[in-house]
Amino acid sequence: MKAHAVVVAAATPMFCLAFLLAPAAWASPPTPQQVCDALDADPEPSTFISLLLEAAQDEGISTTAAGAQMGAYVGDRCPRHLPMLERYLADRQEASQR
């Protein structure tokens, strides 16, 4: 598994809460291109979280597995969004240590 997928999968529990605020966008799991298009349109962690949890629900997999899948999509297809995700994860980890 690629390092960026591991980082995202490890932080998946932090992403879960934000999903409750975001509606599902597709009837089936998002494709790598849909993930990149969604992040291009709205480059926010909540967009990624929404897609991650949608994939977990639609595919019947854990959020950790979906996080790894979505992280791999971003790393492979649109790595320009990795810095945003890494900043979010670092901020969340710092906040949880306070």
Q: How many angstroms separate the CA atoms of 8 and 13, rounded?
A: 10
Full-model pTM:
0.70
Question: pLDDT tens digits for 15-57?
Answer: 443 443 444 445 578 899 999 999 999 999 999 999 999 999 9
Q: How confident is the model at residue 92 (pLDDT cuts 50, 70, 90)?
A: confident
C-alpha 9/C-alpha 11 separation (Å) is 5
Read off φ and ψ for residue 33, nearest 5 degrees. Answer: -65, -40
What is the domain partition of the chain in residue ranges? 3-96
